[in-house]
Structure 1
Amino acid sequence: MANRDSQRTWNDYRDYRAMCYVSGMSMTNPNVAGQSADEIIGERVHQLMWRAKVSQTAFAPVLGLTQSGLSPKLRGKRGWSADELRAVASYFGVSIDYLFGIDNVVGPAGIEPTTSTV
């Protein structure tokens, strides 16, 4: 039974992947057509830097990079490592899901916003 379930999961994934390829939709976030995960992350990091008024030159050392190494990552031309994603999330206080475009909550990582009824 478990083998049949895992096969169904693989087929579902394969079909979803094919649909994304044909439609130009991102596999990471179906709401963002035509963007790779690296492009989404780069855009999100760039927005966070802009809001915090942090330059590429100032932020690059946080990731162990130079400005010229950070720039292609922000444009989605070079991939992000797990350590870099963790450092970005920690520095700006956001979740990894936010960086991937899965969650749109900008706030402390892991803390859901609350609405006061008072």
Structure 2
Amino acid sequence: MPVKHDIFGLLIFALLLLLNCSNDEVEGGIDCQLEQSHFQLNHSINTKNIRLVSFDLNYRGEYLYKGISRWDFGDGTIQDITSKTLSHTFSTPGTYTITVRPSLENETMYCEPLLTTTLIIK
């Protein structure tokens, strides 16, 4: 029975939260999980320097994306970038998980969806 009680309490909490938000607040928000699907993260490895990788971040959603993103290259390098394209040189071979948090805005709210890709650098 404690499980049913916990679920009931959670439903009541969610209902109260929705009732305390105006329609403008609910409609004005940005769904970061949904917006994540509107991004495309591309990369290409330089043929002359196989540790040099170029990245391109495209967005096809409805909110304002100014090209401002926080990049974590998985090698200890974290950078705030103000461009939709960039290059990074990895110093050693390995498998790297690159994460990007682009900043989206509307008039009153913002969000930073999480994008990831994995690269193998030889």
TM over 0.5: no
Higher helix share: 1
Computing the radius of gyration from Cα coordinates, the structure with the larger value is 2
Whose RCO is larger (CA < 8 A, sep 6+)? 2
Structure having the larger proportion of residues in strand: 2
